[in-house]
Amino acid sequence: MTFIRRAQRRGRKFQNPVPTAVGSPTMIFKFLPLYLSNRAERSPKQPLGPFVTDASLYATPPESGLRVTWMGHSSMLIEIDGYRVLVDPMWNQRAAPVEWAGPKRFFPPPLRLEDLPPIDVVLFSHDHYDHLGAYTVGRLATLPATASAQWVTSLGVGKVLEGFGAKPASITELDWTESLRVGALEVTALPARHFSGRSLLNRFETLWASFVIATEHHRVYYGADSGEWPGFAEIGREYGPFDLAMLEIGAFHPLWADIHMGPEGAARSFEALGGQGLLMPIHWGLFDLALHAWRQPIERISAIEGIKLWSPPPGTPAEVVPGVEVRSEWWR
């Protein structure tokens, strides 16, 4: 398959790279009975953590050249050959339009925003509430750590960031296959199979993307939110191999399999990307966004044989070393 080089629109709405079913108003009639009969432990019964990041570690560069601090869900700080990339930072209390209702964090952020080290790139993959929060953006826009940062995002999302306080001059929007260079660091936006919108009235009006974050020495693939699709194979051939592939495993269900791949889908997508390097499970462990038990995604992907997993505890700056798995079991 050859994926399209630029995102296509139909009127004001961006299109997925392949035909994709996104929940229609009638889905509620399928979902509601499942929701009412569901007995899964969707949120932890016992408090998690505390998870605390030792910010002093950032003063020492990673020996391997690549270190990642997973903050939960899809938020992480990537240190790659002297550069720091803050990915889909989400420090809000809830993944929702308001702070008094909606999916609430299972644990507090391991690191205060005020304790972040100097950041080179702040990256937002798309505009959904579990990836982009008004409070987080507003605070980041005022911090010394991000004063010189480039804010990188998908087409149309810049206006959302500006509305929450980000400086327009610092924002770069990318179409699929477009890149931004910051010194020796290159950030490339690539297709994903998902959707966008912060209400039912503006779906698809901004773009969603996955990203390659690369230097001469390391390549990281951030899959963001995506269902399975044939383009992963071409991404692997053209932009890989990857030292670390970050793929979502949570918030999945057969009803919305086109837009969220789940654990088994992540395993297949990792193999399609080339199956080299390490697989980092993301998009799990912080918010109740589906019907499954909160541990189920990590349990299922941990049981799949033949894949080298890289899954550190929340808030722990962990080195990425070729061939060396990290299988923390904090979630047990």
What is the chain's mean pLDDT, rounded? 95
What is the reported pTM?
0.96
At 81 the three-state DSSP class reads coil
Per-residue pLDDT reduced to its tens digit, 206-258: 999 999 999 999 999 999 999 999 999 999 999 999 999 999 999 999 888 99
Distance CA 231, CA 245 (A): 15
Would you state the pLDDT for residue 29?
63
Distance CA 122, CA 153 (A): 8
- The residue type of 109 is P
Q: Which CATH class is domain 53-327?
A: alpha beta
Asked if 205 and 13 touch (Cβ cutoff 8 Å), the reply is: yes
Cβ neighbour number for residue 283 with a 10 Å cutoff? 29
- Residue 10 Cα distances to 1, 175, 232, angstroms: 22, 15, 24
Residues in the chain: 332
Domain ranges of the chain: 53-327
Look at residue 307 and tell me whether its pLDDT is greater than 70. yes
